[in-house]
Chains A and B, each alone.
Chain A
Amino acid sequence: MSNITKKNLDINVEYLTRVEGHGNIVVNVKEGKLEKCHLNVIEAPRFFEQMVKGRSMFEVQHITSRICGICSTGHCLASIKATEDAIGFTPSEQTRKLRKLALHYETLDSHLLHILFLVAPDCVGAESVFPMIKTHPEVVVLALKVKKICSDLCDILLGRHTHPITLVVRGFTKLPTRKELEKSRELLVELASDYGKALEVIKTLKLPKFERETEYLALSHPDEYAFLDGNLKSSDGGEVTPQKYLEFVHEYYADHCTSKHSKNKRTSYMVGALARFNINHEKLPKNVRDLADQLGLKAPCYNPYMNTVAQAVETLFCAQDSIRIIDEFLAKGINKDEAVSSWPSKNEAGSFKIKAGRGVGAVEVPRGVLFHDYTINGKGMIEKANCVIPTNQNLSNMDDDLRKMIPEILEKTKEEITLQSEMLIRAYDPCISCSCHMLDVKFV
């Protein structure tokens, strides 16, 4: 082991691939001692909180949806919830259920993209999904097929997936017909059956046995596995309403990297599928919990690589729960009169009261809890906005994981250490486009 203690290692993964957005990993070991170790975010800054200043509350969800192409529905929903909270508008029960459905579709789409396009190459030792077209055509065809199903589902409910059209403040601009609901149900049943095949791929995942106990944060709801609604709960104890999220979420600037980081009482916390599972697993239906068991996922789980497995478990839940919601609508029907316009028309404008105030929207998007926090003036214009992105919240946790893991695997080759580090970051499914709170980073 003496050679390990004197080991020098310099890893600089520029342009980390198979993640959403631009990031680098920097690791520097001198004589067996870890000197530098972190993920840098190098995405170009876009300043959304500035961009929405002075813009109408009826278009802010349209703008903030553009923060991220993968979780645009989540951004839309967090934005709409923040706006409605600020002006004191309560959406109908039908709207709430349809929004839940929209969010399930996004979670399905995003989790399946991550598992089948971005992680599967690690399962088979391929550089990307492209060489797999020749070596594992069945996985690629499956991946493309389930993505298409998700896209078709979103087309029906939202007009399209990326940057949804029908999701607006107050409700939906277009509501699905009975025929469309029946079609959606068929698609979901097909997806659930394809999911069985995807599961076979997931079962071949060889995940490193690394553990680090950390704090987990997720929304929690007394009656359901929380995605759209709930209070913010910590695995370290305590629960606050979304409006008080700043009691748990402390944003700060890290020395090594100019993106915003977050922590609570410890140096870091984790959000995302694993955090949700650890906090809310008891709210999952029995068959979903059984699947988790089968896949070796038991709460509390401290292995961040298992985030991908938690995503697989949530995929089953979201498909199943979507069918349940659609069946409710098929039984009771949809009230078509609830369709709203994106902006109050001239006739409505008088009857629609705008109250100045601050509002917070907290939503569990695929990568973890997302907050939009708006202050709206009496004219319905955004005065101040703050968006706290899941990937930003996870940055410190990724750094802490790397810092614990690298010294544990120093006996491996540089290539193995690099791959295992890349896989760790990919396990978080980071969406770096979203985490736009960054400045430019100087390389070491």
Chain B
Amino acid sequence: MSETKKKVRVAFFDFADCEGCQLQLTYLNTALLDILNSIEIVNFREVMHERSEEYDVAVIEGSITRPHDEERLKDIRAKAKILVAYGACACTGGVNGIMRNHTVKAALETVYPGRKDKMETGLIRAVDQVVKVDAYVHGCPINLNEFAAVLKGLLLGALYKVPDYAVCVECKLKENVCLYEKGQICMGPVTRAGCGAWCTSNGNTCYSCRGLLEDMNKQGQLDILEKHGVTVEMLKDKFSLYNGCKLEGNK
């Protein structure tokens, strides 16, 4: 891209999270320098001092908890042309959503016993439970290939489409033996693909960090469970691990 063409200004913002998804950018090697030919990063607190309030694309990492975080996010939404939810905490609420099954009072007694200060907190939410989201980069952590596809989409004006099929599809392509066949419980059948079956290809199970499929094959999953003698009750905890903010009854 020629120097004369105005670069797309991208700003990164982080809320309640571990910042691991931002860190993935440092693993891009010199591809990062190529990307920086097309975009300009104008706000990225973790690695830069300078900051700007003028940006085209806002990349949001983390879940939204406190009232002033909500205000900050709404302000960012008003300034950005495109808003990207980046990583599981932003897309589905991530592991922070586990707190939907606990009260703040109980959490305070556990983590800060004997403390009397008034604390500012609120309901844990995914970004799209507060403002409109234009593009999603799912996963805990995100994978860089998918983020590159999202960036390309933004630059070309054609937004990236997240796969709407199950992780099982990618897992089969990797020729993995089904974990249910090995006596394990796996969230692959109800989780949206796009990670390349990252965890299951490394001997672990799927934890549904990319979120539940919009149009999941419930009967198909129930058939698998029945075949392997697994009850829905045994799966309950698995659903709340990454999708606590999005589960019916928790919304």
> Are B20 and A148 interface neighbours, CB within 8 A?
no
> Are A68 and B119 interface neighbours, CB within 8 A?
no
Q: Give the distance in Å from the alpha carbon of A18 to the alpha carbon of B28 in the complex.
A: 19
Residue of chain A at shortest CB distance from B49: A127
Question: When the two chains form the complex, which single residue of B30, B69, B141 contacts A144, counting CB atoms closer than 8 Å?
Answer: B30
A294 interface residue, CB < 8 Å from B? no
> Are B141 and A168 interface neighbours, CB within 8 A?
no
Main secondary structure of the interface of B (DSSP, over half): loop
Question: When the two chains form the complex, which single residue of B19, B36, B94, B141 contacts A20, counting CB atoms closer than 8 Å?
Answer: B19
Q: Give the distance in Å from the alpha carbon of A121 to the alpha carbon of B41 in the complex.
A: 17
Residue of chain B at shortest CB distance from A341: B184
B156 interface residue, CB < 8 Å from A? no
Q: Give the distance in Å from the alpha carbon of A129 to the alpha carbon of B47 in the complex.
A: 7
Residue of chain B at shortest CB distance from A168: B204
Residue of chain B at shortest CB distance from A51: B98
| Chain B: minimal CB distance from A171 (Å) | 10
Given contacts A45-B119, A173-B203, contact A159 B198 (CB under 8 A): yes
> Are A147 and B96 interface neighbours, CB within 8 A?
no
Given contacts A18-B48, A45-B119, A59-B241, contact A69 B18 (CB under 8 A): yes
Question: When the two chains form the complex, which single residue of A15, A19, A56, A63 contacts B98, counting CB atoms closer than 8 Å?
Answer: A63
A28 interface residue, CB < 8 Å from B? no
- In the complex, chain A residues whose CB is within 8 Å of the CB of B229: 346
Residue of chain A at shortest CB distance from B46: A20
Q: Give the distance in Å from the alpha carbon of A184 to the alpha carbon of B14 in the complex.
A: 33
| Chain A: minimal CB distance from B35 (Å) | 12
> Are B110 and A69 interface neighbours, CB within 8 A?
no
A3 interface residue, CB < 8 Å from B? no
A89 interface residue, CB < 8 Å from B? no
> Are B102 and A342 interface neighbours, CB within 8 A?
no
- In the complex, chain B residues whose CB is within 8 Å of the CB of A440: 66, 119-121
Interface string of B23-36 (1 = CB under 8 A from A): 11011111011001
Residue of chain B at shortest CB distance from A434: B18
- In the complex, chain B residues whose CB is within 8 Å of the CB of A147: 26-27, 29
> Are B18 and A72 interface neighbours, CB within 8 A?
yes
> Are A173 and B119 interface neighbours, CB within 8 A?
no
> Are B41 and A162 interface neighbours, CB within 8 A?
no
Interface string of B83-113 (1 = CB under 8 A from A): 0000000000011101100100011001110
Question: When the two chains form the complex, which single residue of B15, B24, B28, B102 contacts A51, counting CB atoms closer than 8 Å?
Answer: B102
| Chain A: minimal CB distance from B41 (Å) | 7
> Are A45 and B202 interface neighbours, CB within 8 A?
no
| Chain B: minimal CB distance from A242 (Å) | 21
| Chain A: minimal CB distance from B69 (Å) | 6
> Are B204 and A159 interface neighbours, CB within 8 A?
yes
> Are A69 and B22 interface neighbours, CB within 8 A?
yes
A339 interface residue, CB < 8 Å from B? yes
- In the complex, chain B residues whose CB is within 8 Å of the CB of A145: 29-30
Question: When the two chains form the complex, which single residue of A19, A44, A166 contacts B203, counting CB atoms closer than 8 Å?
Answer: A166
Given contacts A144-B29, A341-B203, A342-B204, contact A17 B119 (CB under 8 A): no
A353 interface residue, CB < 8 Å from B? no
> Are A342 and B205 interface neighbours, CB within 8 A?
yes
Residue of chain B at shortest CB distance from A175: B203
Among B30, B50, B111, the one with the most A-chain Cβ atoms within 10 Å of its Cβ is: B111
- In the complex, chain B residues whose CB is within 8 Å of the CB of A159: 198-199, 201-202, 204
| Chain A: minimal CB distance from B77 (Å) | 18
> Are A17 and B49 interface neighbours, CB within 8 A?
yes
Interface string of B191-226 (1 = CB under 8 A from A): 000000011011111010000000000000000000
Given contacts A69-B22, A159-B198, contact A18 B204 (CB under 8 A): no
B45 interface residue, CB < 8 Å from A? yes
- In the complex, chain B residues whose CB is within 8 Å of the CB of A433: 17-19
- In the complex, chain B residues whose CB is within 8 Å of the CB of A43: 16
- In the complex, chain B residues whose CB is within 8 Å of the CB of A341: 182, 184, 203
Q: Give the distance in Å from the alpha carbon of A347 to the alpha carbon of B41 in the complex.
A: 52
> Are A162 and B49 interface neighbours, CB within 8 A?
no
A67 interface residue, CB < 8 Å from B? yes
| Chain A: minimal CB distance from B130 (Å) | 14
> Are B183 and A346 interface neighbours, CB within 8 A?
yes
Q: Give the distance in Å from the alpha carbon of A121 to the alpha carbon of B44 in the complex.
A: 15
> Are B203 and A174 interface neighbours, CB within 8 A?
yes
> Are A63 and B241 interface neighbours, CB within 8 A?
yes
> Are A49 and B185 interface neighbours, CB within 8 A?
no
- In the complex, chain B residues whose CB is within 8 Å of the CB of A172: 203
B140 interface residue, CB < 8 Å from A? yes
> Are B141 and A162 interface neighbours, CB within 8 A?
yes
Given contacts A343-B205, A346-B183, contact A439 B117 (CB under 8 A): yes
B62 interface residue, CB < 8 Å from A? yes
Given contacts A18-B49, A44-B62, A51-B98, contact A72 B20 (CB under 8 A): yes
Interface string of A9-23 (1 = CB under 8 A from B): 000000101111110
Given contacts A59-B241, A147-B26, contact A47 B102 (CB under 8 A): yes
> Are A345 and B29 interface neighbours, CB within 8 A?
no
A62 interface residue, CB < 8 Å from B? yes
Query: Which B residues contact A (CB, under 8 angstroms)?
Result: 14-24, 26-30, 32-33, 36, 41, 44-50, 62, 65-66, 69, 94-96, 98-99, 102, 106-107, 110-112, 115, 117, 119-121, 140-141, 182-185, 198-199, 201-205, 207, 229, 237, 241
Excluding A133-B33, A162-B20, 7 further A-B contacts by CB distance (< 8 Å) are: A45-B119, A50-B102, A50-B107, A69-B17, A144-B26, A159-B202, A160-B198
- 18 residue pairs bridging A and B, Cβ less than 8 Å apart: A17-B46, A17-B47, A18-B46, A44-B65, A47-B110, A53-B110, A62-B207, A68-B19, A113-B26, A130-B47, A130-B48, A140-B33, A141-B33, A162-B24, A260-B112, A342-B205, A439-B117, A440-B119
Query: Which A residues contact B (CB, under 8 angstroms)?
Result: 15, 17-22, 43-47, 49-51, 53, 55-56, 59, 62-63, 66-70, 72, 113, 117-118, 121, 127-130, 133, 140-141, 144-145, 147-148, 151, 158-163, 165-166, 168, 172-174, 253, 258, 260, 339, 341-343, 345-348, 433, 437, 439-440
